[in-house]
Homo-oligomer: A and B are copies of this chain.
């Protein structure tokens, strides 16, 4: 990894903001990190059903390479996985990046770019069947790591993934220091954070929130 790694985050209308901000909070703290927040058009994006607007640094046409590419998810990813301009760009950046990472349904975009054929990969629990249509082999794990490629499960899993990625690129001590800085010592008040742990009633209710 270069001393001042360029870390590109692809964001888009219909983003789930925590998918993006979890890894951003971790990876933007890497020593010398030069972040680039990128959208397909270069315009600011709208997330959470137009409840939140996030600015970008540039459009995909303006960035030709990155050391790390992070692709978060959200409802918009189900559209972008079929958008040739976006998937062409993802494939181009991934070709030379040291690491390409996805969070949640961001893996659908990696799949749409043809990066996951025959690979085990993870995604949000609601999107496993759709991920399989890209040729990926969906697995119910929180993080799936290959050389240069890492996929994470739904939304909050991006924090775990980014800490692992920080260790890969900058060493475990830096990753642990970032974990302390963001005080990531999780103490969820409930234990219903995965399909396997949640009751049938909670699984049914989760479709509405």
In the assembled complex, the CB of A122 is this many whole angstroms from the nearest CB of chain B, namely 10
Known: A44-B53, A156-B184, A179-B192. 6 other contacts (CB 8 A): A18-B182, A28-B52, A104-B183, A173-B201, A177-B205, A178-B209
Residues of B within 8 A of A62 (CB): none
A141-189 residues at the B interface, CB under 8 angstroms: 142-143, 153-157, 159-160, 163-164, 167, 172-189
Residues of B within 8 A of A55 (CB): 44, 52-55
A84 within 8 A of B: no
In the assembled complex, the CB of A151 is this many whole angstroms from the nearest CB of chain B, namely 13
> Once the chains bind, are B54 and A28 in contact (CB under 8 Å)?
no
Chain A: number of interface residues, binned into ranges: 35 or more
A25-B18, A55-B55, A180-B195 known; A188+B160 contact, CB < 8 A: yes
Distance of A138 Cα from B185 Cα, bound (Å):
18
Residues of B within 8 A of A209 (CB): 29-31, 174, 177-178, 181
Residues of B within 8 A of A201 (CB): 173
